[in-house]
Structure 1
Amino acid sequence: MFESPEIGPPAALDAEDTKLVTLARGARGRVGALEGAAVRDQDGRTYAAATVALPSLTMSALQLAVASAAAAGATKIEAAAVVTEASTLDGAGHAVVRDLSADAPVHVAAPDGTVLGTVVA
């Protein structure tokens, strides 16, 4: 089982990280999912996803966004954003980001897009 990382104070978002929050909100809203996430890879490409909960497959939005990036050839994650109603970041999602980057910020935002905090470790 993965532990949920501690969410630090919100980091100042540049335009590219703000775009990740927007993409994550859109992914969540399109299907009414619990969470939406978006990541940016080493080439600046972005990948967005929503939580999947099927009888035979369950993935957090962040896991799926990173998996999509990896499937497209990404070797590093520069930044990530998760839009959620939860007050914590999913530990498994955080772990998969760390598989491709030891220091990429993961911004956690409320459904309205307000950044609640940032995980940097």
Structure 2
Amino acid sequence: MQDQADPEDAKIVTLARSARARTGAPEGAAVRDSDGRTYAAATVALPSLALTALQAAVAAAVSSGAAGLEAAAVVTGSDSVDPASLAAVRDLGPTAHVLRADASGTVIETLHPETSK
């Protein structure tokens, strides 16, 4: 487990936890753009549309005009971050770090671009 010293990172973990709890989804996620704005989302599982929580958070950032990402967080019961989710983050934030946290908000892992390809 990793120490969550950065208050801005703690904020996106909290937003991701809230998105997950609000919807009862398997995952919640939040991203912080290069201007410091945050976007949160939960897993989308519709008959005609399926997105991971991170993909949905990235989509929210893009649709709001974000030019880049600084960081992302996903709250999940999984022991890894889905590769498609990482790819979505990297599309908009090639240098962004991704925090994987458990349901309590404890950061289990921080993925950096050089270690998550």
TM-score, length-normalised on structure 1? 0.90
Deviation digits for residues 27-66 of structure 1 (CA, Å, limit 9, x no counterpart): 0000100000000001110000000101111000000000
- State the Cα distance separating 1:12 from its structure 2 match: 4.2
Mind listing any 5+ residue stretches in structure 2 that lack a counterpart? none
- In 2, distance between residues paired with 1:12 and 1:118? 10
Aligned to 1:108: 100
Q: Is the 8 A contact 1:10 1:107 kept in 2?
A: no
Query: Where has structure 1 moved over 2 Å in runs of 4 or more?
Result: 9-13
Higher RCO by CA contacts (8 Å cutoff, separation 6 or greater): 1
- Which residue type is aligned with residue 23 of structure 2? V
- Over aligned residues, Cα RMSD in angstroms? 1.1
- In 1, distance between residues paired with 2:103 and 2:85? 18
Mind listing any 5+ residue stretches in structure 1 that lack a counterpart? 1-8
Q: Percent identity?
A: 58
Structure 1 counterpart SS, 2:40: strand
1:38 corresponds, among 30, 53, 56, to: 30
Aligned to 2:57: 65
- In 2, distance between residues paired with 1:56 and 1:29? 23
1:97 corresponds, among 89, 93, 104, to: 89
